[in-house]
Every structure is written in structure tokens, then in C-alpha cells.
Amino acid sequence: MPPVVLDSRRQVGGVCWAQAKHVSRDSGRIFGAAASTTWLKGTVLSVDKRRGNVNAKRDTTFIRALYKVGDTEKDVEIAMQSLKAADPTANPTPEPTSVEGNGNPPPAVPPPPPPPPPTTKK
């Protein structure tokens, strides 16, 4: 049985990553065009599981975390679906090794034909 990996987003004091646009409304002014691609590191303060809407049928997990935006620190509550547990820019997912994505190796490319022999005039 593989070891159980605990999600750091669900532990108080753990680390979570949120997009800058979810943390502060001033993210567009601070980060410019990169506001939607900038991820901020936060420290989890509390975890709450409740219904986000009065008419909702399922609970949503909300994470309250402390983020540093510019020179200020923001205490923000964000739904767990909008957070990442690890740095999203650190390890991009590897590309599949096959063309079809089904685990088969890519088709072999035939080698180029040999060059023609040199011709000499006599």
C-alpha cells in the first residue's frame, strides 16, 4: 500500500498557493498583465467546511490563509478548488511520451536517404 500523502492545504500552518487575482482586487495594479498567471504563497490559518450558498446541496472546504501582496499581508478566505498544494511553477507536468497519449512509443522516423555519389567529369 503506498504511503498516504497529507494535503498541506488542510493543515493549519501548512502552505497553499493561490492566484494573485483571487487574493487581492489590486493584483491587476500590482502585477499588471501577469495577475492571472502569478501564484502567491500563503500560510493556512484555518480550514472550514460549510455550504457556500444557502441552497447548496454539498459542502465546500474554505481555506483562510495569510498572503503577502506587495508590502502588505492579506488574510483571505478562498475555496479549496481555487488553491494548489504545491508551487505550480516549480515542476511542470512532463509531456507524454507518445503521440496518441496511450502509452505507446512514438512511431520511428525513417533515416534520410544517403547522398548520391559524387560525379566526376573526364
Mean per-residue pLDDT, 62-74: 92
**How high is the pLDDT of residue 95?**
61
Cell numbers standing for residue 30: 500590482
**Spatial distance between the Cα atoms of 38 and 33, rounded to a whole number of angstroms:** 9
Overall average pLDDT of the 96-115 stretch: 69
What are 116's three cell numbers?
548520391
Range 80-99 average pLDDT = 72
Give the H/E segment covering residue 68.
strand 60-69
pLDDT band at 85 (very low <50, low <70, confident <90, very high): confident
| Tens of pLDDT, residues 6-29 | 788 888 999 999 999 999 988 889
Map residue 28 onto helix, strand or coil: helix
pTM equals: 0.65
Computed over its alpha carbons, how large is the radius of gyration of the chain?
25
